[in-house]
Amino acid sequence: MIRFFFRSKNIKLNGADVTLKRQLCNSFALKPRNLDLYKIALIHKSATSSIANGRKVNNERLEYLGDSIIDSIVAEYLFVKFPNENEGFLTKMRSRIVSRSSLNALALTIGLDKLVITQTNNPLAHRHIFGDALEAFVGAIYLDRGFETTRRWINSFILNRHIDLAALKETETDYKSRIIELAQKNKLCIQFESEEQETERGQNPSFVAKLLLDNRLLGTGYGSSKKEAEQNAAMVAIERIDLFPLPNQQLKPETISWEN
């Protein structure tokens, strides 16, 4: 087991620790053994802390771990729920559940945002802080209680309570794939031009993407990653035209920029 802290079992918890432990039990149906793991999971990069030996800690490593665990548990969940569906369907459904926007919404729904510690002023980075914290939170559960407990928690506390599979089947989220498919069908040239934007020192990077159709600018999108920016650019393009335009069709005149 990875050791983040060297806390003795005989050390008395302080007031803040007692409050956090009570919140984890009452609000998240968890009985933590190593409270420090959950404390780290709630520290955003912008609020990086130092532990006793001077090492800097935040939730990025736990986020990486939790991301992989969520993927595997959701994959198994869908495999069981949809025994007659093919790989493409299962992959699309998993992508919709574990997308950045979906995880962020889930974190807000279960109240995890109230516990996250952050000091960022970057609105683009701030959009997904809570979803990232949810991934880190799952990583903490896994290290603290093991895979089986983590699987049961995600299935019962997240998926069964807050995911409407029927509605999700009708939801379109992969705008980029959709617009590329339509461009190929209509034998049109589609191109994404993406670049990183300058941000203040210490802030997470942000990106802007432009979608060009036969060298015409069709949509512009922004995001905290290149992938997100391109998805937003594709979403703008689709929102501007009800059907994908053939070369002789006119584009709607609305603005082509989109940003939260």
Active site annotation includes 113: no
Within 8 A by CB and 6+ apart from 86, the residues are: none
- Kindly list the distances between the CA atom of residue 215 and the CA atoms of 187, 226, 254, in Å, as whole numbers in the listed order: 14, 20, 18
- pLDDT tens-digit profile of 127-148? 689 999 999 999 999 999 999 9
Residues 41 and 133: beta-carbon distance below 8 Å? yes
Query: What's the confidence (pLDDT) of residue 55?
Result: 73
Residue 8, token pair as written in the block: 């003795």
Q: Residues 39-73: pLDDT tens digits?
A: 999 998 888 776 555 678 899 999 999 999 999 99
Indicate the fold that domain 15-169 takes in CATH: Ribonuclease iii, N-terminal Endonuclease Domain; Chain A (1.10.1520)
Please state the domain extents for the chain. Answer: 15-169, 175-258
211: phi then psi, degrees, rounded to nearest 5: -105, 125
Mean pLDDT for 153-173 is: 89
* C-alpha span between 121 and 174 (Å, rounded): 28
- Best CA proximity match to 186, nearest among 249, 240, 256: 249
Q: What local confidence, expressed as pLDDT, does residue 125 receive?
A: 53
Q: What 3-state DSSP class applies to 191?
A: strand
Q: Give start and end residues of each alpha helix (H) in the chain.
A: 15-28, 35-41, 60-81, 87-97, 100-110, 123-126, 129-145, 147-153, 160-162, 165-169, 175-185, 226-240
Return the number of other C-beta atoms located less than 10 Å from residue 85's C-beta. 14
Interior angle at CA 169, CA 244 and CA 102, nearest 5: 90
Over 80: is that where the pLDDT of 149 sits? yes
pLDDT in tens, 203-214: 667 889 999 988
pTM summary value: 0.66
Catalytic residue among 63, 132, 135, 230: 135
* CA 218 – CA 203 distance, rounded (Å): 29
Q: Name which of 18, 45, 21, 27 is nearest 112 in CA terms.
A: 27
pLDDT tens digit sequence for 116-127:
998 876 655 566
Q: Is 67 a catalytic residue?
A: yes
**Over the stretch 80-103, which tens digit does the pLDDT of each residue have?**
999 999 887 888 889 889 988 889
Look at residue 103 in the predicted model and tell me its pLDDT: 93
Neighbours of 161 (CB within 10 A): 11
CATH class of this structure's domain 175-258: alpha beta
Identified catalytic residue from 17, 67, 85, 174 = 67
